[in-house]
């Protein structure tokens, strides 16, 4: 006769380190616990950290005059693409157009056009008859060098636009040519449609005929009137420095967890290594990894989302080339370092090898790393690689005195374990488990827009990534 016994496997998962695992640190010669998830964390090491007492940091800047130079958004239904009407205000001449109905009428007049790689969209010197919006793809702006040789003036990609001068109704010629690099979808607004709309809509006629007064410097800041090179009793202009009325405030973010350690483990298996200390060390390492990830990817203060639109450029052909990094480097003074995914660095190395260029290594804190033009190229696996195998490369100037990128934290916290990290004992529960609240407080701020630049749509071989 077989007797069946009812299973009593009501086993609950441990809420703290077991004694069996703890004994591994209490016998024989051994190492401290290792962790595969630890990365170099170059961003945390290279950022200068400023104090943010009270948990907030306000960035005061000079007043910036917005001229509508952002990117345009689109919607798609099947293969048909349409510009979002309100996004047309990103064109400087349409900034003052407040009538949504007129914007919708303008959006309806755009014609969808598709171009194959290598196909010419416009030719320099030809009459400018259309305003173009780039819905998809990548194009080159072409011009002529000083000695008559062809020159690439820049790259256009999704969200960009060109030919805005057609909006005022005047007859002009293209000052540059545009050629498709990849398959492209463009929306074109004919000049005749603009003329027709001006004739029937007084509001459009008034907005487009309004003279534009440029009261800003080339960085977009409110200009300071001054005189130079004069002689005699020349009347000097009066001036003042205007500030932003609503400066941005960065609040410290937090990464937290509750560490649990059984009191039996902490009391009996504490030699030669402190069990609580080792648990805390690994927990803080994980918090630091999360901190760097947030500094890169957080939508509120992450660097990838806080670069100014003028400081975002596209690769010329896809993979990161020396020309691309030169373009990124020349857009700011005193670039301290590049930050890129390791696979993007490998792709850049392949492009250098293809051209027969050897990037000279640079020493950073006692370690040799790849450099370009004397600027270190540092790895960061927190920069994402998209499904299409594209990523981004960041370049930044750092430091408060250099009006650069800074890290924010508050030190001197109660029960501080490391700068900006606190470990607070929460007590012992009914199961004799000790609990510790581990918190890391941090944020990052870009003091002026040109301190941070991003090379976008960088292609690496294969897709996906960490």
Average pLDDT, the chain: 85
Do the beta carbons of residue 122 and residue 166 sit within 8 Å? no
pLDDT per position as a tens digit, 120-148:
999 998 998 899 999 988 899 998 877 77
CB 405 within 8 A of CB 453: no
Distances (CA, A) of 304 to 1, 362, 378, 382: 71, 25, 16, 11
Tokens 């410097």 sit on residue = 217
Instruction: Classify each residue of 270-300 as buried b or exposed e, where b means 16 or more C-beta atoms within 10 Å of its C-beta.
Output: eeebebbebbbebbbebbbbbbbbbbbebee
Domain ranges in the chain are 42-55+249-356+366-459, 74-209
Q: What mean pLDDT comes out for the span 208-235? A: 60
Percent pLDDT > 90 in the chain is 49
pLDDT band at residue 208 using 50, 70 and 90 as cut-offs = low
Amino acid 202: pLDDT? 53
Of the listed ranges 7-16, 159-168, 353-362, 381-390, the one predicted with least confidence: 7-16
Taking residues 77-89, what's their average pLDDT? 82
Binned at pLDDT 50, 70 and 90, residue 214 comes out as very low
Q: Is the pLDDT of residue 437 over 50?
A: yes
- Average pLDDT value for residue range 365-391: 94
Q: What is the mean pLDDT of residues 266-295?
A: 91
pLDDT band at 97; cut points 50, 70, 90:
confident
Model-level pTM? Answer: 0.75
What pLDDT is recorded for position 387? 86
Three-state DSSP state, 168: helix
| Whether the predicted pLDDT of 456 surpasses 80 | yes
pLDDT (average), residues 297-308: 92
Residue 368 has pLDDT above 70, yes or no: yes
Phi, psi (degrees; rounded to nearest 5) at 168: -80, 0
Q: Is the pLDDT confidence value at 281 over 60?
A: yes
pLDDT class of 249 with cuts at 50, 70, 90? very high
For residue 323, what pLDDT is reported?
A: 93
- Whether the ω angle into residue 272 lies within 30 degrees of 0, i.e. cis, is yes
pLDDT of 416 higher than 50: yes
Kindly report, residue by residue over 174-202, the tens digit of the pLDDT: 999 999 988 899 999 988 887 777 665 65
What pLDDT shows up at residue 210? 52
Q: Which of 246-250, 256-260, 332-336 is predicted with the least confidence, judged by mean pLDDT?
A: 246-250
Please name every residue paired with 400 in a beta bridge, in sequence order, or none if there are none: none
* Residue 436: strand pairing partners: 259, 425
Structure token digits, residue 458: 């960088």
Q: What's the confidence (pLDDT) of residue 41?
A: 95
Beta bridge partner(s), residue 57: 250
Task: Assess whether pLDDT exceeds 50 at residue 234.
Answer: yes
Give CA–CA dist 82/59, Å, rounded. Answer: 37
CA 465 to chain centre: 18
pLDDT for 464? 42
Is it true that domain 74-209 has CATH number 2.60.120.10? yes
pLDDT per position as a tens digit, 151-176: 888 888 888 999 888 877 667 889 99
The total number of residues written for the chain in this structure: 466
Could you give the CA distance from residue 342 to residue 357 in angstroms, rounded to a whole number? Answer: 19
For the segment 70-77, the average pLDDT, to the nearest whole number, is 79
Percent of the chain residues past pLDDT 70, beyond the cut: 83
């Amino acid at each position: 006769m077989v007797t069946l016994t009812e299973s009593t496997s009501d086993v609950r998962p441990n809420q703290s380190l077991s004694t069996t695992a703890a004994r591994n640190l209490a016998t024989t010669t051994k190492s401290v616990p290792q962790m595969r998830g630890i990365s170099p964390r170059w961003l945390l090491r290279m950022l200068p950290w400023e104090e943010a007492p009270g948990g907030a940091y306000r960035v005061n800047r000079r007043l910036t005059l917005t001229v509508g130079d952002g990117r345009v958004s689109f919607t798609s239904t099947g293969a048909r693409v349409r510009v979002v009407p309100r996004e047309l205000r990103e064109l400087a001449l349409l900034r003052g157009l407040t009538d949504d109905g007129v914007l919708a009428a303008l959006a309806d007049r755009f014609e969808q056009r598709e171009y194959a790689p290598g196909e010419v969209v416009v030719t320099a010197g030809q009459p400018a008859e259309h305003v173009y919006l780039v819905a998809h793809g990548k194009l080159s702006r072409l011009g002529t060098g000083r000695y008559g040789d062809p020159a690439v003036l820049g790259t256009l990609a999704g969200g960009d636009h060109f030919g805005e001068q057609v909006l005022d109704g005047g007859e002009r010629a293209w000052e540059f040519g545009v050629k498709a690099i990849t398959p492209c979808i463009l929306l074109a607004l004919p000049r005749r449609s603009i003329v027709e709309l001006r004739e029937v809509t007084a509001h459009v006629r008034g907005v487009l005929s309004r003279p534009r007064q440029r009261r800003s410097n080339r960085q977009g800041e409110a200009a300071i009137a001054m005189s130079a090179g004069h002689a005699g009793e020349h009347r000097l202009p009066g001036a003042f420095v205007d500030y932003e009325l609503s400066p941005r405030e960065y609040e410290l973010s937090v990464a937290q967890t509750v560490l649990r350690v059984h009191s039996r483990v902490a009391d009996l298996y504490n030699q030669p290594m402190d069990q609580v200390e080792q648990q805390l060390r690994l927990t803080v390492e994980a918090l630091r990894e999360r901190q760097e990830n947030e500094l890169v990817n957080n939508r509120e203060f992450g660097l990838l989302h806080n670069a100014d639109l003028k400081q975002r450029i596209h690769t010329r052909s896809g993979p990161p080339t020396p020309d691309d990094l030169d373009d990124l480097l020349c857009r700011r003074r005193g670039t301290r370092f590049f930050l890129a995914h390791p696979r993007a660095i490998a792709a850049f190395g392949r492009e250098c090898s293809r051209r027969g260029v050897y990037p000279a290594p640079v020493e950073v804190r006692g370690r040799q790393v790849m450099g370009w033009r004397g600027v270190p190229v540092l790895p960061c696996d927190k920069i994402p690689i998209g499904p299409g195998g594209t990523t981004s490369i960041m370049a930044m100037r750092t430091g408060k005195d250099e009006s650069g990128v800074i890290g924010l934290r508050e030190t001197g916290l109660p029960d501080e374990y490391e700068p900006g990290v606190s470990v607070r004992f929460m007590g012992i529960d009914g199961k004799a488990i000790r609990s510790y609240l581990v918190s890391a407080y941090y944020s990052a701020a870009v003091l002026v827009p040109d301190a941070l630049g991003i090379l976008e749509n960088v292609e690496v071989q294969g897709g996906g990534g960490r």
